[in-house]
C-alpha cells in the first residue's frame, strides 16, 4: 500500500466516511498571504532570486492532508488568490503586517461560501480579532490540530478556536516539496531543524508562539530527508573542476543546486543538537546558510565545524551596538564589545555574516543610524538589515509600549519593520523613519557594496555581490515615499492623547 493510500483510508476509517463520499470533491486552499501590494512584497528581499523562500508550513500541512481532498497551495507574494473556484475550505496564514490583507481575502472567500480558518503568529496573539473575519482560528502550531479540523469540517461542526500544542518534532511530516512552485523561489532547498528559543528578546514573537523550550528535530530524520532531497553528489566533470579551481570551490555546488536554507530562528539554541546537525550537513556534502544567535561565535570548535559542514553564511541578530540597549531588550547572548572580533573569526573561515539591527530603542538618538552603517561597512558585513523596532502583538515589547500609551498606529500594515508605529524617546517618528532609510542607503550604495564585498580579503563574492545588488534595488523601494510615506505625527499625537490621555 502506498503512503498516500494509507493516508486516504486511515482518514476514512477514523472519520467514518466511505470511499466515494462527498469529501472527494472538497477543495482546500492553503494560503500564505502577503501585504496585498506587489511593490511592497518586493521590498526586504522576499522576492529576490537568491533569497525568495516558500512558507514551509504550507508544504507541511499539505503532507498531513489525506489525498481524498484536493489541495492547492497559494503563495500570494507570487500569485493571485484564485477567487470564484468553488473552494470549500481555506486556511490562511500571515504575519502581522499581512493581516489587513488576510482579512480582505477571508471576507471575500467567505462571501463565496468558503469556510475560512486563520492561523499564525498574529492570530495566536489576537484570536478574537481574527474571528471577526473567519469561521475558526488556530492558536499555535497547526500540525497538532489539523486532523481534528478536517474531522470537524467534514461533519459540518467547525469549532471557533483550535489550540495547537507544541509539535513533537520527531514526528514532523516531510514537506510536500513537490507542491511548491519552483519558479517562485531560490534555487536551493529549505529545512527546519528546531523550534522554540530560550533567549526571549522583548521584541520577538517566537517565544509566545513556539515557546521558550527549545525542541530539536532528530538528526537522523534530517539526514533521511536531506539524502532524499539532494541524493549523493554527482561525479565532478572536467569543467566543474575547472570552475572550482579557477573561480570558487562552491560554484559546482550552486550548479548542482546543493544549497540549503535552514529556516530556524536560532539554529544554535542547543549546541550539542547543532553539532549533530552540522555533521549531517557535512555528510550530505552541501552548502548552507541560516540564522543563529551571537554566542555561536564564542566557540572555536563550533565555528570550525560550521566551516567544514559547508556553511556559506550566517544571519546574526546584532540588534544594537550599545550594551545598555542590548540589556534592555534582554538579548543576553550578545556582547557588543565582541562583535568586531566575532565577525572576523567567521570571515577567517570564509563564512559570510548577514547582520540584523533594530532601531528605535529608548536610549537611541539620531546618531544611531550612521553608527550602524559605519559599523557594517567597517566590519564588512556581507548584508546588513536595519529594521524599525515594532511592537508586535504577543510580545513583551507590545505590552510595555502599549501600557506607556506610545502607540500611534493601529494599522497592522504598518507593522512591517519599515514603518514607525509608536513615539520613540530620544527622536521623532520622522527621524526614525528617515534615519532607518539613511542606513540602508549608505550600506547599499555602490561604495558600501564595494567596500564590504569586493575589497580583499573577500568572502564568497560570487554569492554576495548579486544578493547585494538585489538589496540595492530593495533600498529604492524602501525609500520610496509613495510606498512608505513618513508618519503623520501631528494627527498621531492628537489621537494618542485622545485615546490614552498621554502625550
Ligand atoms: C525564515 C524567516 C523569514 C524569511 C522568509 C520566511 C518565509 N518564507 O516567509 C525572511 C528572512 C525572508 C523573513 C522576512 C521577514 N520576517 Co521573518 N521569520 C522567519 C522565521 C525565522 C522562520 C519562519 C518559518 O518558516 N517558521 C517555521 C514555520 C513552520 O512556521 P509558520 O510558517 O509560522 O507555520 C506555523 C504556524 O503559522 C501554524 N499555522 C497556524 N495556522 C496556520 C494556517 C496555515 C495555512 C499554515 C500554512 C500554518 C498555520 O502552523 C505552522 C506550523 O506549526 C520566523 C521565526 C519563526 N521561528 O517562525 C520569522 C518571523 C516569521 N519573521 C518575522 C518578520 C517580522 C519578518 C519581516 C517583516 C522582517 C522584515 N521587515 O524584513 C520580513 C517579512 C517577510 C514577509 N513574508 O513579508 C516575524 C513575524 C512576527 C509577526 N507577528 O508577524 C517572525 C515571527 C520573527 C519575529 N521576530 O518574531 N523571515
Ligand atoms: S534570539 Fe532570535 S529567536 Fe530567540 S528570542 Fe531573540 S530574536 Fe527571537
- Domain with residue 108: its CATH number is 3.40.50.280
Asked if 297 and 338 touch (Cβ cutoff 8 Å), the reply is yes
Average the pLDDT over 336-363 and give the result: 97
Please report which helix (H) or strand (E) contains residue 31, including its range.
strand 27-32
Would residue 176 count as lying in a domain? no
Distance, CA of 174 to CA of 242 (rounded, Å): 36
What are 422's three cell numbers? 509608536
Give residue 13's pLDDT: 52
Pair (9, 82) in one structural domain: yes
Pair (147, 224) in one structural domain: no
What are 301's three cell numbers? 570548535
Of 121, 193, 200, 262, the residue with max ligand 2 atoms within 8 A of its CB, to mutate for a pocket test, comes to: 200
Query: For ligand 2, is residue 296 a contact (CB within 6 Å)?
Result: no
Would residue 266 count as lying in a domain? yes
Ligand 2 atom closest to the Cα of residue 206 is: 8
Residue 502: pLDDT band with limits 50, 70, 90 = very low
Distance, CA of 430 to CA of 408 (rounded, Å): 13
Q: Say which ligand is closest to the CA of 295.
A: 2
Ligand 1 atom closest to the Cα of residue 141 is: 53
Q: Reduce the DSSP state of residue 168 to 3 states and report it.
A: coil
Give residue 488's pLDDT: 81
Give residue 23's pLDDT: 54
- Among the candidates 111, 142, 169, a domain finishes at 169
Of 36, 81, 119, the residue with max ligand 1 atoms within 8 A of its CB, to mutate for a pocket test, comes to: 119
Of 30, 38, 96, 142, the residue with max ligand 1 atoms within 8 A of its CB, to mutate for a pocket test, comes to: 142
Measured by CA distance, the residue closest to atom 5 of ligand 2 is 200
Distance, CA of 368 to CA of 217 (rounded, Å): 39
Residue 24: pLDDT band with limits 50, 70, 90 = low
Please report which helix (H) or strand (E) contains residue 244, including its range.
helix 238-246
Phi first, then psi, for residue 268 (nearest 5°) are -110, 30
Distance, CA of 334 to CA of 296 (rounded, Å): 10
The C-alpha R_g of the chain, in whole angstroms, comes to: 23
Transcribe 402-419 into DSSP letters: HHTT-B----GGGTTTTS
Would residue 175 count as lying in a domain? no
Pair (307, 252) in one structural domain: yes
Pair (151, 93) in one structural domain: yes
Range of the domain at 153: 3-169
Q: Reduce the DSSP state of residue 320 to 3 states and report it.
A: coil
Strands (DSSP E) along 320-382, which ranges? 352-359
* Residue 359 scores a pLDDT above 80: yes
Q: Between β-strands 194-195 and 189-191, what pairing exists: parallel, antiparallel or unpaired?
A: unpaired
Pair (310, 450) in one structural domain: yes
- Among the candidates 106, 136, 169, a domain finishes at 169
Tell me, in angstroms, the distance from the centre of ligand 2 to residue 263's CA: 13
Would residue 180 count as lying in a domain? no
Pair (470, 373) in one structural domain: yes
| Beta pairing partners, 115 | 89
Between 20-34, 77-91, 180-194, the lowest mean confidence (pLDDT) is in 20-34
Among 151, 119, 114, CA closest to 136: 119
Ligand 1 atom closest to the Cα of residue 197 is: 57
Q: Reduce the DSSP state of residue 59 to 3 states and report it.
A: helix
The DSSP letter of residue 171 is G
Give residue 242's pLDDT: 96
Q: Which residue has better confidence, 24 or 277?
A: 277
- CATH code for position 245: 3.80.30.20
* Residue 490 scores a pLDDT above 90: no
In order of 144, 317, 400, 483, 498, the CA distances from 363 in angstroms are 42, 18, 15, 29, 27
Tell me, in angstroms, the distance from the centre of ligand 1 to residue 337's CA: 30
Tell me, in angstroms, the distance from the centre of ligand 1 to residue 190's CA: 14
Q: Say which ligand is closest to the CA of 264.
A: 1
pLDDT in tens, 187-234: 899 999 999 998 999 999 999 999 999 999 999 999 999 999 999 999
Ligand 2 atom closest to the Cα of residue 265 is: 3
Is the torsion defined by CA of 31, 415, 209, 139 positive or negative?
Answer: negative
Tell me, in angstroms, the distance from the centre of ligand 2 to residue 205's CA: 8
Measured by CA distance, the residue closest to atom 1 of ligand 2 is 199
Would residue 177 count as lying in a domain? no
* Residue 19 scores a pLDDT above 50: no
Phi first, then psi, for residue 36 (nearest 5°) are 90, -5
Between 263-272, 285-294, 447-456, the lowest mean confidence (pLDDT) is in 263-272
* Residue 6 scores a pLDDT above 90: no
Pair (299, 360) in one structural domain: yes
Query: For ligand 2, is residue 395 a contact (CB within 6 Å)?
Result: no
Pair (155, 193) in one structural domain: no
Would residue 100 count as lying in a domain? yes
Pair (327, 227) in one structural domain: yes
Query: For ligand 2, is residue 199 a contact (CB within 6 Å)?
Result: yes
* Residue 21 scores a pLDDT above 90: no
Would residue 279 count as lying in a domain? yes
Pair (305, 454) in one structural domain: yes
- Among the candidates 169, 203, 233, a domain finishes at 169
Measured by CA distance, the residue closest to atom 6 of ligand 2 is 201
Would residue 457 count as lying in a domain? yes
**Number of domains composing the chain:** 2
Pair (165, 197) in one structural domain: no
What are 181's three cell numbers? 512552485
Query: For ligand 2, is residue 197 a contact (CB within 6 Å)?
Result: yes
Query: For ligand 1, is residue 193 a contact (CB within 6 Å)?
Result: no
* Residue 171 scores a pLDDT above 60: yes
Query: For ligand 1, is residue 317 a contact (CB within 6 Å)?
Result: no
Ligand 1 atom closest to the Cα of residue 416 is: 68
Mean pLDDT of the chain: 92
Pair (342, 279) in one structural domain: yes
Ligand 1 atom closest to the Cα of residue 291 is: 21
Distance of CA 375 to the CA centre of its chain: 25
Amino acid at each position: 500500500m502506498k503512503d498516500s493510500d494509507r493516508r486516504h483510508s486511515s482518514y476514512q476509517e477514523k472519520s467514518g466516511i466511505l470511499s466515494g463520499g462527498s469529501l472527494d470533491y472538497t477543495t482546500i486552499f492553503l494560503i500564505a498571504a502577503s501585504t496585498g501590494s506587489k511593490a511592497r512584497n518586493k521590498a526586504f528581499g522576499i522576492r529576490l532570486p537568491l533569497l525568495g523562500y516558500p512558507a514551509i508550513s504550507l508544504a507541511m500541512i499539505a503532507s498531513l492532508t489525506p489525498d481524498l481532498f484536493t489541495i492547492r497551495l497559494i503563495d500570494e507574494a507570487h500569485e493571485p488568490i484564485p477567487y470564484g473556484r468553488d473552494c470549500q475550505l481555506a486556511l490562511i496564514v500571515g504575519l502581522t503586517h499581512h493581516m489587513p490583507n488576510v482579512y480582505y481575502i477571508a471576507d471575500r472567500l467567505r462571501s463565496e461560501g468558503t469556510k475560512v480558518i486563520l492561523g499564525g503568529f498574529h492570530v495566536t496573539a489576537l484570536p478574537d480579532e481574527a474571528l471577526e473575519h473567519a469561521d475558526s482560528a488556530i492558536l499555535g502550531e497547526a500540525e497538532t490540530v489539523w486532523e481534528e479540523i478536517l474531522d470537524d469540517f467534514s461533519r459540518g461542526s467547525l469549532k471557533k478556536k483550535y489550540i495547537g500544542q507544541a509539535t513533537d518534532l520527531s514526528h514532523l511530516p516531510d514537506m510536500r516539496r513537490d507542491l511548491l512552485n519552483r519558479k517562485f523561489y531560490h534555487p536551493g532547498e529549505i529545512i527546519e531543524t528546531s523550534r522554540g528559543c530560550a533567549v526571549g528578546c522583548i521584541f520577538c514573537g517566537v517565544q509566545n508562539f513556539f515557546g521558550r523550550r527549545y525542541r530539536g528535530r532528530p538528526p537522523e530524520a534530517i539526514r533521511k530527508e536531506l539524502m532524499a532531497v539532494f541524493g549523493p553528489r554527482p561525479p565532478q566533470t572536467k569543467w566543474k573542476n575547472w570552475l572550482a579551481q579557477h573561480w570558487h570551490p562552491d560554484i559546482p555546488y550552486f550548479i548542482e543546486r546543493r544549497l540549503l536554507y535552514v529556516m530556524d530562528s536560532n539554529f544554535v539554541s542547543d549546541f550539542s543538537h547543532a553539532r549533530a546537525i552540522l555533521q549531517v550537513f557535512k555528510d550530505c556534502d552541501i552548502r548552507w546558510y541560516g540564522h543563529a544567535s551571537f554566542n555561536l561565535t564564542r566557540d572555536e570548535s563550533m565555528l570550525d565545524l560550521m566551516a567544514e559542514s559547508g556553511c556559506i553564511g550566517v544571519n546574526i541578530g546584532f540588534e544594537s551596538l550599545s550594551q545598555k540597549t542590548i540589556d534592555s531588550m534582554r538579548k543576553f547572548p550578545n556582547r557588543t564589545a565582541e562583535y568586531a572580533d566575532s565577525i572576523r573569526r567567521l570571515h577567517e573561515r570564509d563564512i559570510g555574516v548577514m547582520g540584523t539591527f533594530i532601531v528605535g530603542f529608548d536610549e537611541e538618538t539620531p546618531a544611531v543610524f550612521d553608527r550602524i552603517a559605519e559599523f557594517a561597512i567597517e566590519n564588512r558585513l556581507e548584508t546588513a538589515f536595519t529594521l524599525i523596532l515594532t511592537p508586535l502583538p504577543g510580545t513583551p515589547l507590545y505590552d510595555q509600549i502599549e501600557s506607556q500609551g506610545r502607540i500611534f498606529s493601529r494599522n497592522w500594515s504598518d507593522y512591517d519593520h519599515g514603518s514607525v508605529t509608536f513615539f520613540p524617546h530620544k527622536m521623532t517618528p520622522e527621524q526614525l523613519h528617515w534615519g532607518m532609510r539613511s542606513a540602508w542607503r549608505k550600506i547599499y550604495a555602490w561604495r558600501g557594496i564595494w567596500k564590504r564585498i569586493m575589497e580583499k580579503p573577500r568572502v564568497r563574492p560570487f554569492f554576495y555581490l548579486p544578493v547585494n545588488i538585489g538589496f540595492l534595488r530593495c533600498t529604492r523601494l524602501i525609500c520610496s515615499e509613495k510606498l512608505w510615506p513618513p508618519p503623520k505625527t501631528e494627527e498621531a499625537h492628537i489621537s494618542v492623547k485622545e485615546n490614552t490621555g498621554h502625550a
